[in-house]
Every structure is written in structure tokens, then in C-alpha cells.
Chain A
Amino acid sequence: MGHYVLRRVLQMIPVFFGATLLIFLMVYSLPGDPIAAMFGDKAADPATVANLRHQYYLDQPLWKQYLHYMNNIFHLDFGTSFTGRPVSEIMADAFPVTIRLALVAFFFEIVIGLPLGLIAGLYRGSVADTLVLVLTLIVISIPVFVLGYIAQTIFAINLGWVTPTVQDSKDITQLILPGLVLASLSLAYVARLTRTSIGENLRADYMRTAVAKGLPRPTIIGRHLLRNSLIPVVTFLGTDLGALMGGAIVTEGIFNIAGVGNVLYRAINQKEGPTVVGIVTVLVLVYLVASLVVDLLYAVLDPRIRYA
């Protein structure tokens, strides 16, 4: 087990460097000159442009910029944005908001998605099963931004239960509606995945054995059926946490939440290299850690993996 964890952690190092380099190259290859763009329609002043370019290290060759950037990262310096704010400060503001939003979404996925899948799987062919299938199909087929605008129109503008946008991004109760919208797609996947997995395992040998042994029904379902059926679901949920954080960009736009998606959108638009690379680097780390946790959970759920 220890070797396994160590190997996984070591694997993260090349992934980290590869990912940052790729993002760096991508940001750099975006069209347009961010410094000249600061001047808008008006002609840029050459002396000021040269100065600013020097200030943001943009007058160096790309490989030097990358080395400079990585060197700074090891000193925990993520650079400064065009507004003069340290990128680390920007991230410290934005990440907690998005993490909270992602956790709200994650909570809904588990609390709503899993039971729905469980019920549908246990009572295949029933009315409840059909209902879950139809509902999830609808959710999967509607793009998130459409769902977001529908939710905003119904619950905020028509019913007036909530404000159309989030007034205070730090208030978790205001994140419930956006969280539900963000969760909707994954929620449907979780329900369907659980249903299939449970349907398969219901016919497994160990289930028949468990029933034959005369175990009480809650034990059969909880310890035997669910535990084995959750393996693919946990894989999905784990990687989904990373996806939720990155995918919040649409939801954050609709509900005007001051999170990572919001900042990232603006930074990409302005081609603000340090901010984009910094945020995406952290997102990559989140993803890596999430998949590490998934792999560890695997081992807990399925002993065969543990000894492999």
C-alpha cells in the first residue's frame, strides 16, 4: 500500500511539469498582444509598451519566461496580474468560492444521485425506474447554460424565491441553486451509473450466497451490493470533483459568482499569462489529488486491488 501511494505521488511530478508547460505554451500562442490590447482602439505608445513588456517579462524568449515562471513558483510566487495584484492573492479569493460551489454540487450528486440510482437499480422496470431514466435523460440532453437560465428565470424572476445572481459569493446558502445546476449533469450520470452497476451485481454469485445465508436485507444491500456497486461510481465522482471546479465557468457566469471560472474567463480574455497558468496549475493539482484519492478508495473498496 505504501509503495502504491509513493508511486502515485511520484507520478504527479512529470504530470505537473508537463501540464504547466502545455498551458504556458497555449497561453503564449493565443492570438494578439496583451500589452498592445491595453490601449484599446487607440494606438499603443511604443515606449510604454516596451516598458510594460519588460515589467511582465514578456520581452524574453518563451523558454526563459517558462524557467522564470517555474523558478518563481518554487519560491511560492505566482507573479502579478495586470491590475497589480499578486496572482496568489487572486487565487486565494477565488478558489474558496469555487471549492464551496463544487462541494455543494458534489453533495447534491451524492445525496440525490446515489439514492435515485439505488432505487432504480433495485426495482428495475418499475414506475420509479422509468421515471428516473426519463428525468436523467432530460437533464443529460439539456446544456448546462440552458438549464441555468431556466432555473434563473423560474426561481428568481418568476417565483422570486432567490435573487437571480449570487449577491454574496461567500454565502453558502446562495450557492444552493447554482450548485444544483452545476451538479445536474453529473447527478444524472451518477444515478444511471449506480443503477447499471447495481443491476449487474444483483445477479452476482456473492449476492446469491448472501441471500442464501439468510443475511438481513439491509446488510445485503449495504455491505455487499452497494460496496461492490460503488466502485465505478467512486471513480466517476472523484474525477468529477476536478471537472466541477473547472466546469464552473459557465455556471459562475450565469449566476455571477466571483469564483475561479469568472477570474479565468477574464484572464484568458486579457491573455493574462500568470493568472491563467497559476489557476490552471492549481486545477491540475486538484485533479491529480482527486484521482489519487479515488485510486486509494479503490483499494479500500476492493481488496483485490490492494494486493495487486
Chain B
Amino acid sequence: MPAGTRVRWAVVSATSVALVATGCGSSGSGSGGGSSDTSKTFTYQSSEPQNPLQPANANETGGGRIVQNLFKGLADYDPSNGKLRMQVADKIDTSDAQNYTVTLKSGWTFHDGTPVTAKSFVDAWNWAANTNNNQINSSWFADIEGYKDIHPESGSPTTDKMSGLAVQDDTHFTIKLYNKVSYFPFKLGYVAFSPLPEGFYKDPAGYGQKPVGNGPYEFVSWDHNSQVVTKTFANYQGVDKPKNGGVVFKMYTTSEAAYADLQSNNLDVMDQVPPSALANYKNDLGDRAIDAPQGAIQNIGFTLYQADWQGQDKNKVRQGLSMAIDRDTITKTVLQNSRKPASAWVAEGVDGYKAGTCGDFCTYNADKAKQLITEGGGVPGNAIKITYNADGGHKEWVDAVCNSIRQATGVNCTGDPKTDFKTARAAITGHQINGLFRTGWVQDYPLNANFLADVYRTGAASNDTGYSSPEFDKLANEADQAASVEDTATGYQKAEAQLAIDMPAIPLWYYRTNSGFSTKVQNVAFDSFGNPAWTQVEVKG
């Protein structure tokens, strides 16, 4: 996985063809273009899910990608432009960005034949948000009024229903939020907001092993550590009708094994080629190789809560360090073109992405870097350490970044590896880090607010740097109050500009999907989540 992390992946059913097309010449949507057989299944590289297959419990890729194929929520993201697209919802109306009325389409059913109604959503959300049910994604419901009663910070919930949710009739329900969140519908594309059938509540654990959803594919079998088999759901009502007979998720422990299988046609589509194959995979696979952008970014964060990095003009030191990193050379050589140099804090391909927000500070310039660092009073002790997790393949580029900084500015820079991701995260969140650390962000939903509000707002859950800027917070709040998602996106671009002034974290580069497919399938394209457009894959007849 990118960043060696386990990340949340929002629901997505199809890819942004435009993104893929602009990505790289060799990114492909098929070899040939022959006839296809809609009854045939294809295999996909996966890993054993780490949690039961419940929508609000799937926050890692292994389980997440299976669940998002079995379930379909109110909306997902459009294949042509990555924007929000209605699925079960006919429309989601609001006049004040705080009270939403959802109208459902009729005709949707679960795989067991029971209808998908407003109650299916409201009950599912209440169940998922309830502390007693231990759902890892429960905090996604925190915007909804009544969440604090059903999910108190400690102790047992006082109720099992959120006051902000009300069923009007079979096809209508309303949502009331604590605050105005103009882009709330964007969040609804995440798999945690999926509906659940009545039968679920009788045996949630059993359903976790044998899920019944309403998505394009229905569950057939789960042969643990070996494969999860799904087949196309005949009565699927979504706008993305499957062009294949189902997906078989084959479990692999190493991507090397998956790549060997892909080359010999024993695996049809894979996640990401192993680092050992990065240099050759385009030669190996020819027009079956894929190189597409992802909504994920790699950063270096500063421990702004430490005295060393506080005080006037220290932002100049941080800007100087950013300018001392030769992103172009490092992505080309050390990272073998598997990343693209960043020029903003939001990843490319994301709604609201604006290239160049970082300005000159993201362009290599040794003289300017030295000058800025001197103006800012210099780096304390003239030495920095970059903490990273040693299990994610980060050593090479951290060393390269350090070399770049050392050569450009004379600041002594060394890498500080932690055993694994867990350890590194514990040190970062526990504020046991000195100076700089590797950090990253993978989109939950493709909107710039997700890259900014969740990471840089004062006290935000994932604000690892301790960054707190009244100006940024004010602009972010204004953006949240905006009337439309478009205005929100523009509003957040203004907030992002503040990051260039304060430089709480150095943007390094954007992730890319480097993958490929077998000769048995065609029309394979990847979206910015790094997932293929599952339903669009065609199996050759």
C-alpha cells in the first residue's frame, strides 16, 4: 500500500477516464478491444480482510475493496470527472448546508430480495455510530446531530438513535448536522454510510462473515486466506451496471507473488506492482501496463508543538528546507517515476486541486533555501532528523531528501527509522518525535477539504504537526459555510494558500498507481483511489 499504511478508502465504482488519459501515455484502457463475455468473472489481487466484512468496519484495503463492491450507498463518485454521483439517492437537498433531505430511488433491493428503504439507511447509520458496536469507522457520523449521545467520549450511550436522523416515509429521510458542512454529501460516498438489511441486526457477527449488501456484486463465498468470490447481482439498480460476471478477490501475501501470477495470466488485475518490478513493468506488460494518478500525497511534517519550531520567522526555515529538496531528481531516480513532484498540499485529480499553491517553495533552489534558513534564524543545532517507518520502503527517499538538504544548505540531516508503521504512528501521535517526520494523506473522498480540514485545522483528529493558525481556521470555516460544493472547494483553496505562508508540512510528491492486467481482460482503468473501475472491466470471450 502507499505509504506502507493502512488507509480508509471511500466508495468508488468507476474510474476517472480523463485522469487516466492525462496520466501517462502508457496508461491503458485495454489491449485490443475484442468481444467480451459478461458472464465471466475476473480475479483481483487482494489481501485477507482484517476485520469482519461490515461496511462501517472496513477501513483497510483488504476488507474495504470487497465491502465497497458488495454495498452501494446514497452516492459515489462519477467516472468521468471524480465528482459526486447519485446512486441509491435520487437527490440530496439542502437549503442551509445543515439540514438535508434525502430522496431515494425506488426499485433497489438487497441481495436477499428485501427492499432498500429510508429505514435501511437510518438504522444502519445508528447502528454503526453506536459505541457498543465497536465500528472502526464510527467517527464518520460525528457530523450528525445526536452523535454525542450515541457515541459519548466515555461510558455507554444514552440512546440508540441519533436525533439528527428522521425517517419520513419509505423513500424519504432527513439529516440534521451539528454545524453547516456544505460538502457533507461528498462524505456520503464513503462505504460506512451503506444501508443494511433487516437480517443484519439479528446476527451482525455472522453477517460480517457472510455479508448481504445491495451493491453490484453479491457475496458467494469466503475461503479464508485464499479467496472471496462474488458474482454479479442481477437486480442491481445502480448507474454502473457490471460488464462482467463478478470479481474473485485472491489473497496474496506479497505483491511479488501476485506479479508473477499476473505475468502468467493466473491473475487478471493487480493493485500495485512490487518495487522490484517498477523499472521493468512497462516493458513486461506493454500496453497492459497502467500508470495513473492517485489522490494521495507524501509530506514531511514539523513538530510545531516544540519550542524549536515556534517563534517568528521560523516559517522561513521551514520554507527553506522545502526549497532544499530536489523533488524532480528524487522522483525520477530513487522513486523510479512512481511519484509525481507536488506543488500543493492537495493531490492532483482531487476536486478543488490547484497546482502551484506551494509556489516557489516547492521548487528546488539551493541559494534561496540557504538564504531563507539564515533569515529565519537557522535550524536549531544545524541538524534535523526525519522520522519514518522502516517497513514501508521509505528509507531510500528519506536518505535522498536528507542528502539533498545537506548538499543545498549544509544542514546536517539524518533519517530516524522506527520499526514499523504502528510504532512510528504511536511516536507521532504521542508527540515523541524531534523535529521532522514522514507523513502522508490518502483521500477519503476526492475533495480538497479532505486534504486540508482533516489535517491542518486546529485540533483536527489527524493534525499531527500541532499546526494552529487562526487565519487558516477562519478560511476553512468560511469554506464549510459555503452554499455549494464548488464554493467550498474555492474557499479551501484560499485556506490552502495560508499553508504556503506557514509551511506546517512540506509537500513532497503525489502517489501514482503503477499496475497492470492480464491478457484475459480489457477496459481496465484505475481511479484516484487506486482502485480499478470494477464494474467496467471486460473479460474477453
Query: Which A positions have Cβ atoms within 8 angstroms of B?
Result: 31-34, 36-43, 45-48, 50-52, 55, 82-85, 90, 93-94, 149, 152-153, 156-157, 160, 163-165, 167, 169, 252-256, 258, 262-263, 265-266, 269-271
**B523: min CB distance to chain A, Å:** 25
Q: How many A-B residue pairs have CB under 8 A?
A: 150
Whether A93 touches B420, Cβ cut-off 8 Å, given contacts A51-B134, A83-B50, A84-B205, is: no
Q: Which of A34, A160, A165 has the most CB of B within 10 A?
A: A165
Binding site for A on B (CB under 8 A): 3, 5-8, 48-52, 59-60, 131-132, 134-136, 138-139, 151-154, 205, 208-209, 224-226, 251-254, 256-258, 260-261, 263-264, 266, 418-423, 425-426, 429, 440-442, 461-462
Known: A83-B49, A84-B205, A167-B266. A50 touches B154 (CB 8 A): yes
Contact pick for A94, options B154, B208, B225, CB 8 Å: B225
| A55 with B134, Cβ < 8 A, contacts A82-B51, A266-B253 known | yes
Task: Report the nearest A residue to B151, measured CB to CB.
Answer: A47
4 more CB-based (< 8 A) A-B contacts, given A45-B139, A252-B253: A42-B59, A51-B134, A83-B48, A93-B224
A45: nearest residue on chain B (CB-CB)?
B139
- Residue contact A163 to B266, C-beta cutoff 8 Å: yes
CB within 8 Å for A165 and B266 given contacts A40-B59, A48-B131, A84-B209: yes
Docked-complex contact B253 and A253, CB < 8 angstroms? yes
Contact A51 B209, CB 8 Å, known A38-B51, A40-B8: no
A80 nearest CB across to chain B (Å): 10
Which one of B256, B421, B426 lies within 8 Å of A254 (CB-CB)? B256
A265 partner residues in chain B, CB cutoff 8 A: 253
- Once A37-B421, A82-B50, A93-B225 are accepted as A-B contacts, the answer to whether A254 and B462 lie under 8 Å apart by CB is no
**Residue pair B266, A31 in contact (C-beta under 8 Å):** no
CB distance from B126 to the nearest CB of A (A): 15
A42 lies within 8 A of B461 (CB): yes
Alpha-carbon distance A160/B135, docked complex (angstroms): 46
Which interface residue of B205, B256, B429 has the most chain A CB atoms within 10 A?
Answer: B256
CA of A52 to CA of B152, assembled, Å: 15
Contacts of B419 in A (CB 8 A): 31-32
Given A31-B422, A256-B254, A41:B154 Cβ within 8 A: no
Q: How close is B65's CB to chain A, nearest CB, in angstroms?
A: 14
A164 lies within 8 A of B263 (CB): yes
Q: How far is the CA of A36 from the CA of B420 in the complex (A)?
A: 14
Q: Which residues of B contact A85 (CB under 8 A)?
A: 209, 224
**By the criterion CB–CB under 8 Å, are A164 and B261 in contact?**
yes
Say how far B76's CB is from chain A's closest CB, in angstroms: 21
How far, in Å, is A158 (CB) from chain B's closest CB?
10
Q: A47-B152, A254-B256, A256-B254 are in contact. Are A156 and B264 (CB under 8 A)?
A: yes
Q: Is the CB of B254 within 8 A of A270?
A: no
Contact across chains for A254 and B50 when beta carbons are under 8 A apart: no
Minimum CB–CB distance for B44 against chain A, Å = 14
Give CA–CA (A47, B129) in the complex, Å: 11
Q: How far is the CA of A149 from the CA of B274 in the complex (A)?
A: 14
**B contact residues around A46 at 8 Å (CB):** 153-154
CB-CB < 8 A to A84: which residues of B?
51-52, 205, 208-209
Residues of A within 8 Å of B266, CB to CB, are: 163-165, 167
Q: Which of A83, A258, A266 makes the CB contact (< 8 A) with B226?
A: A258
- Determine which residue in A33, A37, A254 has the highest number of CB atoms from chain B within 10 A of its CB, and name it: A37
What are the 3 A-B residue pairs with the smallest beta carbon separation, nearest first?
A32-B422, A164-B260, A43-B461
Q: State in angstroms the CA–CA spacing of A34 and B135 once bound together.
A: 15
* Set of chain B residues within 8 Å of A160, measured between Cβ atoms: 264
From residue B438, how far is it (CB to closest CB) to chain A in Å? 11
Would you list 9 pairs from A and B whose C-beta atoms are within 8 A, ordered by A residue? A48-B134, A48-B138, A52-B134, A84-B205, A84-B209, A85-B224, A94-B225, A163-B261, A167-B266
Chain B residues, Cβ within 8 Å of A43 = 429, 461-462
Q: How far is the CB of B327 from chain A (nearest CB, A)?
A: 22
For the complex, give the distance between the alpha carbons of A152 and B264 in Å: 11
Whole-angstrom distance from the CB of A297 to the nearest CB of chain B? Answer: 34
Whether A48 contacts B425 by the Cβ 8 Å rule is no
Bound Cα distance from A41 to B6, whole angstroms: 7
By the criterion CB–CB under 8 Å, are A83 and B51 in contact? yes
Q: Bound state CA distance, A152 and B176, in angstroms?
A: 58
* B442 contacts A41, C-beta separation under 8 Å: yes
Contact call B152/A256, Cβ cutoff below 8 A: no
A33-B422, A40-B8, A84-B209 are known contacts. Are A270 and B50 too (CB-CB below 8 A)? yes
Bound Cα distance A258, B135 (Å) = 28
> Given A41-B5, A152-B260, is A169 in contact with B50 using a C-beta cutoff of 8 Å?
no
- Report the Cα distance A51→B441, complex, angstroms: 27
* Nearest chain A CB to B202 CB, angstrom units: 16
Residue of A nearest to B1 (CB): A40
B50 / chain A contacts, CB cutoff of 8 Å: 38, 82-83, 270
Beta-carbon nearest neighbor of B139 in chain A: A45
A153 to B7, CA, bound (A): 33
Which of A48, A149, A252, A269 is B136 in contact with, Cβ under 8 Å? A48
